[in-house]
Amino acid sequence: MKIIDEINRLKAEQHAIILAHNYQLPDVQDLADFTGDSLELSRKATEITADTIVFCGVYFMAETAAILNPDKTVLIPDLHAGCPMADMITAGQLRAFKAEHPHAKVVCYVNSTAEVKAESDCCCTSGNAVNILRHYEGQDVIFVPDQHLGTVIAETLGRDLILWPGYCPTHARIQPRDIQELKAAHPDAVALAHPECPKPVRMVADQILSTGQMCRFAKESPAMEFIVATEEGLLHRLRLENPEKIFHRVSPFAVCPNMKLTTVEKVLFCLRNRAPQVHVEEPIADRARRAIHQMLAWS
């Protein structure tokens, strides 16, 4: 295909690498050098030797890559690919919340702006959240912005967390009956739900897992059939890696419109134009980097 050849030519010319999140469109995932969940992508961003990173995901992910690679060019194919959950708390709101709880540590979900990360002691992803919070045993902790992931952590560890009422609008569209109806039709299917799903959905699922954990679970499980309660983009990778297994889409509404803004054509344009680029100004980047490095050190 001509467009892929041209992308590959520009990639070689610019020493570029393409990273993609598991929710990206299938042809974007196929194009990427590496596809993963937020934790895997953050780790990958610390190992990059290429000069240019094309980040196919949403803005906070590209921003994290830029914070970890201040000397590299980070391109995002569509500047409008934001995350509504990340925008549910501003740095000013977090500062005011901290003032209400002056002794509390702050852990922020990586789905947050650089400014919010800069106000935090540590970041986490859905793949390492419970383990990160083990490091704060016996201490008051503010957790932002996802109330649902925060509740999963609190329930798993049997502790309280001071939660911010943010949520993912895409996972909020998944209903418990979506899983119940699929289970009734496919009684052997194992229901996997992302921790961003609201509690009534999580309660009817068999496993609560990040997208990367879902990939590992599906591969290692003897089960042959799965209900996948997360954004539909993950189905492509699950089906590709497990051609003999069956994966049911939980709902036609579990689509993140921001993740779908990235297309193969936009990848080509951004490499051709070396734009849009993602920059994070120091000292915000410096403070946010500390919170990300703390997470990586504990993961």
Which residues contact ligand 13P (rule: CB under 6 A)? 22, 37-39, 83, 111, 125-127, 168, 194, 196, 210-211
Out of 259, 270, 280, 292, the only residue in the binding site for ligand SF4 (CB under 6 A) is 259
- Among the listed ranges 29-37, 173-181, 251-259, 289-297, the one in contact with ligand SF4 (CB under 6 A) is 251-259
The closest alpha carbon to 196, from 296, 274, 86, belongs to 86
Exposed (0-12), middle (13-18) or buried (19+): which is 239, by Cβ within 10 Å?
A: middle
Identify which of residues 23 and 164 has a Cβ nearer to ligand SF4 in the complex.
23
Pick one of ligand SF4, ligand 13P, none as the site partner of residue 38 (Cβ within 5 to 8 A by kind). Answer: ligand 13P
- Among the listed ranges 26-34, 243-251, 256-264, 284-292, the one in contact with ligand SF4 (CB under 6 A) is 256-264
Identify which of residues 121 and 196 has a Cβ nearer to ligand 13P in the complex.
196
Pick one of ligand SF4, ligand 13P, none as the site partner of residue 119 (Cβ within 5 to 8 A by kind). Answer: none
Out of 17, 31, 58, 174, the only residue in the binding site for ligand SF4 (CB under 6 A) is 58
Out of 4, 50, 84, 245, the only residue in the binding site for ligand SF4 (CB under 6 A) is 84
For the segment 161-200, give every residue that binds ligand SF4 (CB under 6 A): 168-170, 196
Q: State the DSSP H helix or E strand holding residue 53, giving kind and residue range, or none if neither.
A: strand 52-56
Q: Which residues contact 246 (CB under 8 A, 6 or more apart)?
A: 186, 189, 224, 225, 226
Helix residue ranges per DSSP H, the chain:
2-14, 26-31, 38-45, 59-68, 91-100, 114-118, 129-134, 147-157, 176-185, 199-203, 211-220, 234-241, 264-273, 284-297
Identify which of residues 7 and 211 has a Cβ nearer to ligand SF4 in the complex.
211
**CB neighbourhood size of 225 (10 A):** 14
124 contributes a contact to ligand SF4 by CB under 6 A: no
Pick one of ligand SF4, ligand 13P, none as the site partner of residue 55 (Cβ within 5 to 8 A by kind). Answer: none
256 contributes a contact to ligand SF4 by CB under 6 A: yes
DSSP string of 85-120?
TGGGS-HHHHHHHHHHSTT-EEEEESSS-HHHHHT-
> DSSP state, 275?
-
